[in-house]
Structure formats: C-alpha cells, structure tokens
Amino acid sequence: MPDDPSISPSPSTPPDAAGAGNDRRLDTVPAFIQGSFERSVSTPLLDAGRFLAERVSTPGTTFAISVAGPFAEHETGLSSLCPLLEAGLVDWVVARGEDLYQDADRSFRRATAEPRISEVLADWLRQSRVRVLDQSFPGTTLVSTALFIERLILSPPFQKILSTAELNALLGKYLAERDRLLDISDVSALAAAHRRGVPVFADSPGGSDIGRLVSAAALTGNRLIVDLNKDLNQAAGIVFAARRSGQSAICCLGGGAPRDLLLQASKHLDDPLGLGPHPHGAIVEVASPGRLRMRHRLRGVADPHFPALREVELAPAIALPLLAALLLEQVPAREHAPLLPELDLLVEQIRDGHLRANLERQQQQIQERMRATGAQLQARVQEQQSRIQSRLGATQATIHAEVSRVQQQVQRLLQQVRPPGSDS
C-alpha cells in the first residue's frame, strides 16, 4: 500500500487487536478500516460507505463512479471496479482513458503469466490468423493489448462517429471475447463493463494511448471519430432518466474531467437544455488530503432537500478497493437494466424534452410579446382617446366662448335698433 500520512494504526487500537485473546477482530471490512487508519480517516470513510450502501440499496437508484488517477501507477489499477460491475452495483462509470488502457494491458499480462494460458498464446503466435467474433487478427497481434487495440480501431465496426462510452463498449466487447478464448477470469474493467452493459465514459481522447492511436489513424483516412458532444448528451440522458425513475447517486474518486462530466451532466439538463434542475441525490467525494473541491461546486447539482454530500480525504487509489469492499459487504448483488443499449433512446428523450422546452419557451415569448403588444396598443388607444377628449374639450370651450361673444353682439345690436320709448 503506498505511503500516505493518513494511514497508521489507530491510537485506540492496541497492537494485538487481531489476536485471539482480544474481543475486537479485524474479520470485517469496517473493523479492518478502523484498525488500519486514523479515526479522522476511518470515520468519514465508513460513513461514506454506509451512505452509498443505503442509496445503492434503494430501488430506482442509478449509481455512477468517476475515477481519476493515478490508478495507472498502481499494480491493482481499476481491478476493484470489476466486482462492483459484476454484482450490478454500478450503472455507469467515468474514468481516465490512460487508466482504462493500462488496466486492460495489466490484467491481460497478469492472466497470461499462467502456464496454461501461455501455451494458448504460443499456439496463437504460430497461427497466421485468429478469429475474434466477426474479425480475424494475426496471432502476433492478439498477444499484445496495444497491438490488438491498434488493429481494432482500424476494423470495420469502428469506422463511425462514437462517444467514448460507445468506443469503450466496442473495445470491451473484443477484449472480453479474447479473455473468453483464453479462459481468463480476472478480466479488465472494460471487459467486465461490457458484460454487464455498463457505459464507461473517458476523458479527453488525447490524454491516453487509445486516443493517440485514434488521432494517428485519422491521418491515414481512418473514419473513427470520437465525439465528446455525444458524451455529455448521453451522460445527461442517464441522469435525466435516473431522476425521473428514482434518484442519481455518484461517487467521485479524484477530480479532473471524470468528476466534471458527472457534475456537468446534471447542469446540462437545466441550462442550456431547459429541462429544469436534475440534481444528484447523493454525492461522495474522495480526494487526497487538501484536495477536496466538491462543496463549492454543488450549486444546482446536489438535491437541496437533504444533506447529499460526504467527503473523504484519502488517496483515491487506496479508497477505491476499500469502498468497493464496503459496498460488496453491505449491498446484495442486484439485477439492473443495462444502460449501454439504451444510450440512443436516452439521448432521444432529452432531445424531445429540449425541443418541447424550446417550443414552450417560444410560445411563452410569443404570448409575452402579444401581451406586451396588447398593452402597448391599449396604452396608445387610451392616449389617443385622452388627446381626442382634450381636443373636444378645447373645441367646446372655444365654441362656448364664440357663442357667448355673438350673443353679446346681438344684444348690443338689438339695443341700437329699438325705437325710442320702447323700454316703457
């Protein structure tokens, strides 16, 4: 286990805590954590584990994990994800492309070190072509994960526009089949996710060997294009469906682009798509000491109706297997509808909602303009009526004055034409 200042025997735990004569045994995951870490680390870690276990156990909860290195530097890599995927506890994943690639390569090399598998590999090397699903490859290609992936992205199934989830699903499909041909049980995270229909999104393609292979192949006419717009829309579609059917729970191990996709997927639904707030109902952030960043970024992302955030200061590569063990111990395996086949439908749902929201917004704008125009017309009519009334009043006053003047003139004329003595 890598050095970490937070890892040391708990002061409250005697050295013989695991001994036969001590009542306290380290035969459960919580006991192991309490006996291995300072209380300042073990308490929030166990609380986060219970919090996630409650949420994941709740029917209708869609659970996502983001993992951001440096998992590639650790021998176990992303292997702790596989039991969670196989138990149906994780619905979708966001990871660094480099971690996914290194995990696939490491799991294959670890498995092929077994003598029985080495014999199959030696046989493959003697064959000119080996068939994997609908494609055939040189035997020398299959014994190297790097060469295998490089050849895969040039094959016909990959000649289209794909999100990173769709690209990783295709890679996982062929990696899983290669593992099956070799009877490998300790599979990579990509292979395990494919088997369960779990979408695995990745960060910027340029940040991994896979991304660089895709970019290099494009220079020679390869038609594979990784569309990050599809990533955000597909992720938003998952959150949208999760909030409609239940709630969304996320666990962010590390920060960077994987964490940001989980947060932006929720914000994307509200602005600019106009579908209203769809906050995550439960959030756990795990980061190295001093690197917690989630709390100030939760505006519009966390459900305001209950305290949704748990924070753990621990290196993500250390926390992942511990949280995985806590979940596996506390949450029974569950059957869940795989999200991978539903990605297109989920995007259609938010597209329809976005178009309806746009139409409603345009109708509202038209109604507001009509109301404003009506108010302006009414004001103008009232102004014209006021002007007319003012003019009528002025005209009437002028007429009255003129009539009065004429009457006075008539009176004077009458007095002038009266015969003498008529007054009597």
Dump pLDDT digits (tens) for 151-204.
Answer: 999 999 999 999 999 999 999 999 999 988 888 888 899 999 999 999 999 987
Distance CA 278, CA 275 (A): 8
Distance CA 35, CA 9 (A): 6
Q: Is the pLDDT of residue 22 over 60?
A: no
* Model pLDDT, residue 89: 96
Q: Are 174 and 133 in contact (CB under 8 A)?
A: yes
For residues 117-124, average pLDDT: 79
- The chain-wide mean pLDDT, for the chain, equals 85
CB atoms within 10 A of CB 33: 21
For residues 245-263, average pLDDT: 92
Q: Which CATH architecture has domain 29-338?
A: 3-Layer(aba) Sandwich (3.40)
Pull the structure tokens for residue 269. Answer: 């639904």
DSSP 345: H
DSSP 2: -
H/E element, 225: strand 225-226
Q: Which of 53, 40, 47 lies closest to 10 in space, CA to CA?
A: 40
417 Cα distance to chain centroid: 106
CB atoms within 10 A of CB 345: 11
Q: Which of 258, 259, 276 lies closest to 267 in space, CA to CA?
A: 276
Q: Are 169 and 202 in contact (CB under 8 A)?
A: no
Q: Is the pLDDT of residue 5 over 50?
A: no
- Per domain, the residue ranges of the chain are 29-338
Distance CA 316, CA 251 (A): 11
Q: Which of 85, 83, 224, 203 lies closest to 150 in space, CA to CA?
A: 224
| Entry pTM | 0.80
Distance CA 96, CA 103 (A): 11
Query: With bands split at pLDDT 50, 70 and 90, how would you rate the model's confidence at 353?
Result: very high
Distance CA 276, CA 289 (A): 35
Residues in contact with 36: Cβ distance below 8 Å, sequence separation at least 6, in sequence order? 7, 9, 10, 42
In total, the chain counts a number of residues equal to 424
The residue type of 79 is S
* Phi and psi torsions of 131, nearest 5°: -90, 130
Distance CA 312, CA 315 (A): 9
Q: Are 113 and 356 in contact (CB under 8 A)?
A: no
Q: Are 261 and 232 in contact (CB under 8 A)?
A: yes
Q: Is 305 helix (H, G, I), strand (E, B) or coil?
A: coil
In this structure, of 41-55, 204-218, 342-356, 385-399, the range with the lowest mean pLDDT score is 204-218
Proportion of the chain above pLDDT 90, given as a percent: 46
Direct distance between the N- and C-terminal alpha carbons of the chain, in angstroms, rounded to an integer: 139
Q: Is the pLDDT of residue 54 over 90?
A: yes
